[in-house]
Amino acid sequence: MRLLLLGPPGAGKGTQAHRLMARYSIPQLATGDMLRKEVADRSELGRTAAEIMERGDLVSDDLIIAMIAGRIDQEDCRNGFILDGFPRSPAQAEALDTMLSSRASALDRVIEIGVDDDILVSRITGRFTCRACGAGYHDVFRKPARSGVCDVCGSTDFVRRADDNEDTVRSRLAVYHCRTEPLLPYYASRGILVTVDGMAGIDAVTEQILAALAASSTIDSDGGRPLE
């Protein structure tokens, strides 16, 4: 299954991708995580991306497309993948189509996680992650069972992202509406888009996605209108 999760920052793409990975045994390809690794490694790409990410803009299409191009050919993607954070511009969507069609492949399903802007700021500014295993938490919505201890690996070392502050979140939201939302009618016109209610609780969102995927055995992914 080749799946794309679309939605604004804080919609729950990463949260749901982790659950779907476990369920379908396919990897999550998260361009934001890949970029943060480049930043941590102080690579040339990481040095270019750091400042762009901190102000909430998009890293250039060329750099992102080059970063993801070889990834879908790796062995762990043989049975599919979950794209999280890519594509997020028309040029990236076209590049993805080209990559997949040259491999006689296509996206099976695009899941939009719809959430009102108002709630996204509180979701993002309350987010923190286990540094050791990457498990995601929230100050209010998803606390660890034992305060200060990761449920998954027992680590007590947590991190917050540099771009998870209110000003940057508002910029990221504006960029999402301007650059990424135009992908929704593109995928809708191909009959592969499903929108789930991301305002619901985390478990309820997972159930909506699983129901949509269960109903997708007769997906028609041909056709579609060109991106503007």
Residues classed as catalytic: 13, 88, 127, 161, 172
Local structure of 98: helix, strand or coil: helix
Is 100 a binding residue for ligand AP5 by CB under 6 A? The answer is no
Residue 214 DSSP symbol:
H
Minimum Å gap between C-beta 220 and ligand AP5 is 26
Under the binding rule (CB under 6 A), the answer on residue 205 touching ligand AP5 is: yes
Task: Annotate each residue in 40-79 with x if it binds ligand AP5 (CB under 6 A) or - if it does not, as one string.
Answer: ------------xx--xxxx----x---------------
Chain residue whose CB lies nearest ligand AP5: 32
124 binds ligand AP5 per the rule CB under 6 A? yes
Give dist(CA 181, CA 120) in Å, integer: 16
Of the candidate spans 10-18, 19-27, 100-108, 182-190, the one that interacts with ligand AP5 by CB under 6 A turns out to be 10-18
Phi and psi torsions of 132, nearest 5°: -75, -45
**Strands of the sheet with 28-30, listed across from one edge:** 28-30, 81-84, 2-6, 109-114, 193-197
Residue 91 makes contact with ligand AP5 by CB under 6 A: no
Contacts of 201 (CB under 8 A, 6+ apart): none
Task: Closer to ligand AP5 by CB, 69 or 191: give it.
Answer: 69
Question: Which member of 141, 151, 188, 195 binds ligand AP5 (CB under 6 A)?
Answer: 141
- To the nearest whole angstrom, how small is the minimum distance from the Cβ of residue 197 to ligand AP5? 9
Residue 140: burial class (beta carbons within 10 Å; 0-12, 13-18, 19+): exposed
In angstroms, rounded to a whole number, what is the distance separating the alpha carbons of residues 18 and 20?
6
Per-residue x/- track, 180-199, ligand AP5 (CB under 6 A): ------------------x-
- What is the SS3 assignment for 133-164? CCCEEECCCECCCECCECCCCCCCCEECCCCC
Judged by CB under 6 A, the residue of 85, 96, 110, 150 near ligand AP5 is 85
The answer to whether 96 contacts ligand AP5 (rule: CB under 6 A) is no
* Residues at the site binding ligand AP5, with contacts judged by CB under 6 A: 7, 9-15, 31-32, 35, 52-53, 56-59, 64, 85-86, 88, 92, 123-124, 127, 136, 138, 141-142, 172, 198, 200-202, 205
